[in-house]
Amino acid sequence: MSQTVKVLIPSALRPQTDNQATLELPGQSIAEVLAALTAKFPELGKRLFKTENELNRFINVYVNDEDIRFIDNLNTPVKAGDEVSIVPAIAGG
Amino acid sequence: MILPFESRLSLGRRLKMSYVAHLRCKECGKTYPLTPRTVCDVDFAPVEVDYHYDRMQGNVTRASIEAGPRSLWRYKDLLPIEGQPQAGLRSGFTPLFKAERLAAELGVKELYIKDDSANYPSFSYKDRVVAVAITKAKEFGFDTVGCASTGNLAHSVAAHAAAAGMKAFVMIPHDLEEGKIIGTLVFGPKMVKIQGNYDDVNRLCTQIADKYGWAIVNVNLRPYYTEGAKTHGFEIAEQLGWKLPQHTVVPVAGGTILPKIYKAYQEFIKLGIVEDNGPRMYAAQAAGCNPVVDAIEKGLELFKPQKPNTIAKSIAIGNPADGFYVQQVIKNSGGWGAAATDAEILDAIKLLARTEGVFTEPAGGTTLACAIKLIQSGKIPANESITVCITGNGLKTIEVLQGQFVTAPAIPAKLAAFDEVVAFYEEQAAAAVSAS
């Protein structure tokens, strides 16, 4: 049985996930989890990725509250029970 | 009855249609109607308010602005509201003055300070963006406003919401300065301290805006909110005698203000209100959180996010959403950037206070410290006009100056004891002169 992680979808992207706010997806790295996500919802993939291996720069991905850019970008490993959040870019205050 | 042309023209002006056109994505150009919106649905890029500049020609002029109130609302025609202002009626129109003593100390010819530490009612540039955001929140029919804040925004939202009779929730990093916390609580908002940095707070606020249907001023009202920052630039131009400074130094946190000041300058140029003298923009950041300046210095197309570590908490945003646009403006205007250490920031706060009697917080110290570096490196010529943008007040961040000053111990109320203190200070001054 492959491990799954919880993926949180922001409201701006829920139209592309049949309005589901959380999904359980398989993968051992962020790249694999997002590949599973875009295989299931191709329209979402077009919004998440600028090119095949490059995330849209206005999308941030976190694993358990840590930005993947501080870990290993798309190669960031994930394990069962991890929480992956997809969040639009941070604006100032 | 058909009115004569002049009467029809005058009637048209009195009935004045709004000049606000629509929202437009800064990346893909998709347009949206004028409703609450955080980002573009297609690519999550920021969206910008567009105006009918053609309709403004001949109507929005120096004279029409000068006829307006002595507040930021004198620039109402260039702000995204449909009706009358409903907040911040006394905000803006802060001092801009020629800093002669500071200029002499730095060896520059013409230095101006634009001083939002004096803004009303909460002593930071945030009163500008909040005045617009709360007016829009009321126009949209919200009854609760909120914000994600590094402190100054929470203070401003709480104050303006109280005056406007709106409920307020303010979300802040848990370790914010005490002055900002108490100064905010007094207005009666609900305050939520988050165990994390500002980026964590903002991330939560996007979820709050989704779930609770509140007007989170810097999230789902962001396109309107950010337009208020232009008024800092409009005022600089008007207060310099309808002239743009050749060099403008601006602190960079999320990356809102700098591009908006530049937009303000460009709007005035487009409307023929000021001449285009090729104004250059400069980004100022703390060395402990300088993603944008680092990208400028290294010529990177995109900045790399950082984890903030600086006393300049109000500009400690490691992943600024508008950072790319700051880079763009710096490049297009021929400007540059600099970063200041915490020690340099504190020195600049003291320098500004000592030479010009203005007490700013670390963000302002950062801006002045970076201006000094840019002048010393020759990036900003010493013989051209420079404006340094001071965005917040030092009384709200007193803690950072702990241990920075030496005073004589307390004395009995006797003249002889006082004479000794005078001698003590004279010795100190002499020691400082020989050390330099």
H, E, C per residue of A47-74: HHEEECCEECCCEEEEECCEEHHHCCHH
Percent of all residues in chain A with a pLDDT value above 70, rounded to a whole number: 94
Residue B31 phi, psi dihedral angles, 5° rounding: -100, 155
Q: Is B306 a residue whose pLDDT tops 70? A: yes
Residue A77 phi, psi dihedral angles, 5° rounding: -75, 150
Q: Is B17 a residue whose pLDDT tops 70? A: no
Class of domain B126-225: alpha beta
Residues A28, A29, A32, A36, CA torsion sign: positive
- List the structure tokens of A23: 């999904």
Check residue B2 and give its pLDDT. Answer: 46
Check residue B4 and give its pLDDT. Answer: 45
Query: Cβ(B283)–Cβ(B337) under 8 Å?
Result: yes
Q: What is the mean pLDDT of chain A?
A: 88
Find the mean pLDDT for residues A45-54. Answer: 86
Give domain A4-88's CATH number out of 3.40.1190.20, 1.10.620.20, 3.10.20.30, 3.40.50.800: 3.10.20.30
**How far is the CA of B359 from the CAs of B151, B282, B395, in angstroms?**
17, 22, 7
Percent of all residues in chain B with a pLDDT value above 90, rounded to a whole number: 77
Q: Are A10 and B210 within 8 A, CB to CB?
A: yes
Three-state DSSP state, B375: helix
Which pLDDT band holds residue B284 (cuts at 50, 70, 90)? very high
Query: Cβ(A25)–Cβ(A37) under 8 Å?
Result: yes
Check residue B110 and give its pLDDT. Answer: 97
Q: How far apart are CA B264 and CA B49, in angstroms?
A: 13
Q: Which residue is closest to B211 within chain A, CA to CA?
A: A11
Residue A14 touches chain B, beta carbons under 8 Å: no
Q: Is B202 a residue whose pLDDT tops 90? A: no
Q: What is the mean pLDDT of chain B?
A: 92
Q: Considering CB atoms only, which of B42, B254, B305 is closest to A93?
A: B254
Which of B28, B38, B44, B289 best tests the A interface by mutation, with the highest count of A CBs <10 A? Answer: B44
Find the mean pLDDT for residues B104-112. Answer: 97
Q: Is B238 a residue whose pLDDT tops 50? A: yes
Residue A65 touches chain B, beta carbons under 8 Å: yes
Query: Cβ(B204)–Cβ(B192) under 8 Å?
Result: no
Check residue A92 and give its pLDDT. Answer: 61
Q: Is B195 a residue whose pLDDT tops 60? A: yes
Q: Are A90 and B317 within 8 A, CB to CB?
A: yes
Residue B148 touches chain A, beta carbons under 8 Å: yes
Hey, how many other C-beta atoms are within 10 angstroms of the C-beta on B67?
Answer: 9
Q: Domains of chain A: which residue ranges?
A: 4-88
Q: Is B38 a residue whose pLDDT tops 90? A: no
Three-state DSSP state, B333: helix
Find the mean pLDDT for residues B309-319. Answer: 90
CATH code 3.40.50.1100 for B96-122+229-401 = yes
Find the mean pLDDT for residues B3-22. Answer: 57
